[in-house]
Amino acid sequence: MTLFEVNVFTSTWVAGGNIYGLMVLNGHERKVQIKHLYAIDAIRNGVEPSYPPPALP
């Protein structure tokens, strides 16, 4: 997942389509979201097959 994809995905996922969603998150929330993004990316790549892939927009 590229930085652009992370920004787009995070802003739509976290802030309901607000382009600046990632920018308004505080440091802790941003770190948590980055962890979630990496987890979802790993699931999508088949690294964690025990979890069903989330429904992505």
List the domain boundaries for the chain. Answer: 3-44
Percent of the chain with pLDDT over 70: 7
What are the residue ranges of helices labelled H in 1-57? Answer: 3-15, 21-24, 27-44
- Is the pLDDT assigned to residue 40 strictly greater than 60? yes
Q: 39 in the Ramachandran plot: left (φ > 0), alpha (ψ -120 to 50) or beta?
A: alpha
Residue 32 contacts residue 14 (beta carbons within 8 Å): no
Query: Residue 15: is it exposed, middle or buried by C-beta count within 10 angstroms (0-12/13-18/19+)?
Result: middle
Query: Stretch 4-12: mean pLDDT, rounded?
Result: 56
- Is the pLDDT assigned to residue 19 strictly greater than 50? no
Percent of the chain with pLDDT over 90: 0
Look at residue 15 in the predicted model and tell me its pLDDT: 45
Q: What average pLDDT is seen over the chain?
A: 58
Query: Stretch 11-31: mean pLDDT, rounded?
Result: 53
CA dist 44 and 46 (Å) reads 5
